[in-house]
Amino acid sequence: MTILASLPPRRRRLIFVAAGVLLILIAVAVSLFRLQSKADAPVTYASDDEHFKYGSISSDVGGIPYWIWATMPEVCRGLLPGGYASLGVIQEPGRMTPIGFSMRRVGFLDQVGPNCALCHSTTVRTAPGAAPVTYLAAPAQQLDLMGYFRFLFDCGRSPAFTKANVLAAIGRHKDLGLFERQIYGIAVPQVKKALIAGGSQFDSIVVGRPPWGPGRVDTFNPYKVLVFHDDMTKDKSIGTADFMSIWDQQAREGMWLHWDGNNDSLDERNLSAAIGAGATPLTLSSDVNLAGVDRVKRWITHLPPPKYPFPIDYAKAAAGRPVYEAACAECHEAGRPGYGAVIPVRFLQTDPERQVAFDSTMAAKMNTIGKGKPWAFNRFRTTEGYASHPLDGIWLRAPYLHNGSVPTLRELLDPPARRRAVFYRGDDVYDPVNVGFVSDVAQRGSRRFYRFDTHARGDANGGHLYGLDLSPAQKDALIEYLKTL
């Protein structure tokens, strides 16, 4: 006779009921565990500008768990002594991430990844000690994106990036329960493996090419490795160019976009940018993820360019309007023959490398992305020059030319021989006299700026030989007028 059979009937019933309840609770717990393990929900925001700054474009689907990402500068302290701030990211008080990073719950962990605002937000200071003012949809001229990726991959390959070290670093910021410790203990080796693999891919993209430097990115060469899995061994092209402004997109509807004018679809431009930030064609198949990209598009469509924040001499600006009409409007004013057109390099005489890097083979490959989907790409093409675009908010789009090789508007009106061959990029202190950011300072505090050498391949500062014969008074008036755009 079993022990259970020897018990009184009433007690046996209680035991059966308790066992049944326990089994139900276990089943519910297992169900909840499975449900939570499949969670995939981005953080949402009520306002469009907050969504632009922190909302998901799906690059966080395969992102790094937040607390691992947040503590990596501590774990690999020697690789990034100043933390993420030293890379020029913009940190708002009380926010878990800088502008340009989104979060979403994936499984049991919050993951972080870049969004549009990382490369399209900047700060301006009137003086070294002044408070920075943030401008959204502007080129992130202060951001060292290459330095950011280099840090992530180098940290992942570092002997310091271990489960014990990461858990200890996280534990200095939050209490980890037993379950969380187990989850992070599983996640750390997976992140390390992914960073090592990503580092190898990144190395193949940048090897033999000059550093990007702040405010710049090689836009399409990463596609060759990350999307099309090309072997870059024999590819010596350099596609590095400045980040672009993305305000007032309604004025650019139907215009040839990107620096070389390789696409005239705002939707394809936006989705290709999302893929460049880390999204994938697969994740963009989700209606939720597509909605995040589309919300950014709707917001920037009617977003006006920022007003020049310093005093303007409006009498001088009025005198500069006819100078602009004679020297600039042909290519940069709506309704003129050259507006939005691609000007061949043989006429512009600017550095050709960015245009050469996107050839007909690459255009054909880009047009295979999304095949079978409603948003499939089909508008990419190759060109032999660079597109002329509106000059709205031109004051905030320094440095100038597609590769950012001319630091100020005033120098752009000088012959190439008189433009500085070497200057510094990454400072957010503004120079209202010359219209551009201060570029003769190598370091402020712990922040070291990038020494830009125009002799490097892809970084030449020649060409755009317009307005060179203007008198000093005419140049002053033109510059004053350009501040009003």
Q: Using one digit for the tens of pLDDT, what is the confidence trace for 376-431?
A: 999 999 999 999 999 999 999 999 999 999 999 999 999 999 999 999 999 999 99
Counting every residue written for the chain, the total comes to 485
Three-class DSSP category at 337: coil
Predicted confidence (pLDDT) at residue 1 exceeds the cutoff of 80? no
CB 316 within 8 A of CB 477: yes
Three-class DSSP category at 142: coil
How many C-beta neighbours within 10 Å does residue 348 have?
22
Q: What are phi and psi of 30, to 5 degrees?
A: -65, -40
Q: Could you give the CA distance from residue 230 to residue 312 in angstroms, rounded to a whole number?
A: 51
Q: How far is CA 78 from CA 73, 175, 285, 445, in A?
A: 8, 25, 40, 18
Pseudo-torsion of CA 106, 108, 112, 116, nearest 10°?
A: 30
**What is the predicted pLDDT for the residue at 24?**
57
Give the distance from CA 267 to its chain's centroid: 17
CB 479 within 8 A of CB 435: yes
**What is the predicted pLDDT for the residue at 17?**
61
Per-residue model confidence as pLDDT tens digits over 146-184:
999 999 999 999 999 999 999 999 999 999 888 899 999
Q: What's the pTM?
A: 0.90
DSSP string, 175-237: PPPHHHHHHHHHHHHHHHHHHHHHHHHHHHHHTTS----TTEEE-SHHHHHHTT----TT---
Q: What is the mean pLDDT of residues 289-296?
A: 89
**What is the predicted pLDDT for the residue at 15?**
62
Token pair belonging to 485: 């755009």
Q: What is the mean pLDDT of residues 132-147?
A: 97
Q: Could you give the CA distance from residue 56 to residue 122 in angstroms, rounded to a whole number?
A: 19
Q: What is the mean pLDDT of residues 24-47?
A: 62
**What is the predicted pLDDT for the residue at 2?**
64
- Using alpha carbons only, give the angle 67, 201, 86 rounded to the nearest 5 degrees: 45
Predicted confidence (pLDDT) at residue 275 exceeds the cutoff of 70? yes
Mean pLDDT computed over every residue of the chain: 91
If pLDDT is split at 50, 70 and 90, which confidence band does 284 have? confident
- Using alpha carbons only, give the angle 186, 146, 293 rounded to the nearest 5 degrees: 75
**What is the predicted pLDDT for the residue at 5?**
65
Per-residue model confidence as pLDDT tens digits over 186-198:
999 999 999 999 9
If pLDDT is split at 50, 70 and 90, which confidence band does 37 have? very low
Give buried/exposed letters for 289-319 (b at 16+ CB in 10 A, else e).
bbebbbbbbebbbebebbebeeeeeeebbeb
Q: What is the mean pLDDT of residues 85-112?
A: 94
**What is the predicted pLDDT for the residue at 282?**
75
Per-residue model confidence as pLDDT tens digits over 320-372:
999 999 999 999 999 898 898 999 999 999 999 999 999 999 999 999 998 98
Q: Could you give the CA distance from residue 202 to residue 348 in angstroms, rounded to a whole number?
A: 32
**What is the predicted pLDDT for the residue at 344?**
95
Token pair belonging to 56: 């998901």
